[in-house]
Structure 1
Amino acid sequence: MQSVYLKFYLTEKQHHQGKQLYEWVLEHARAQGVPGGSVFRAVAGFGRHGHLHEETFFELGGELPLQVEFVLDSAQAESLLATLRAEKIKLPYVRYAVETGLT
């Protein structure tokens, strides 16, 4: 089956409407019928500004990179992206076609 893999990049410190942004995105995806989503915290990373964020003893909370991932159909991907745009949430993302199935 043809599906879409959609991944967003954000940090722990990002919030929207009083919630952590990753929770907000997951809740809205679920409300739109997306079959599943996951959030992964990175050990280290850097973004467009080049600042390295790492998990160390001295790292301030909320600075670590997160990835929010979904495998969904194209219409659901467009709907989720439209929701983020309507809320004026600007997140870097990747989207590409994938094959899904069961063995």
Structure 2
Amino acid sequence: MQGVYLKFFMTELQKHNGELLYEWLLEQAKKMGIPGGSAFRAIAGYGRHRKIHEETFFELAGDVPIELSFYLNEMQAAQLLQLVKTEKLNLFYVKSQAEFCCNEE
């Protein structure tokens, strides 16, 4: 199947309307009928603001990078990106063409 691989980048503690942003975005995608999404927690990283985000021994809750990934069709990708725009979320994302399938026996 042909589609889109859409990846959003944020930090673990980023919030939207009082909820963790990655959890909020996953829930919105689920409500939109997007078949699945995954959040991946990084060990460390930095972005456009050049600030290193990492978890250290002395921190109880780190603010590490989160990568939120979806495999979806073009229409779903457009709807999700429109939601991000409507909600005025300042998120970096990568959108690329993808071929994907599920080999069920």
Aligned position for 2:57: 57
Alignment of 1:53-92 (within 5 A): 53-59=53-59, 61-92=61-92
Deviation at 1:82, TM superposition (A): 0.3
Correspondences of 1:7-46 after superposition (within 5 Å): 7-46=7-46
**Segments of 4+ moved more than 6 angstroms:** none
How much has 1:12 moved relative to structure 2?
A: 1.1
Structure-1 separation of matches of 2:81 and 2:41: 21
Structure 1 unmatched runs, 5+: none
Aligned to 1:93: 93
Normalised to the residue count of structure 2, the TM-score between the two structures is: 0.92
Question: CA offset at residue 56 of structure 1?
Answer: 1.9
Q: Secondary structure at the match of 2:90?
A: coil
- C-alpha contact 2:7 2:67 (8 A) present in aligned 1: yes
Q: Which ranges of structure 2 fall in alignment gaps of 5 or more residues?
A: none
Q: Which amino acid aligns with 1:74?
A: E
Identity of aligned residues (%): 52
Q: Deviations over 1:3-26 (max 9, x none)?
A: 100000000111111110001100
Confirm or deny: 8 A CA contact 1:53 1:64 kept in the other structure.
yes
Contact 1:11 1:62 in 2 (8 A): no
How many aligned positions are there? Answer: 103
CA-to-partner distance for each residue in 1:19-78, whole Å, 9 max, x for gaps?
A: 100011001001101000000000010111212122221346241000010000000000
What RMSD in Å do the two structures reach over aligned CA positions? 1.2
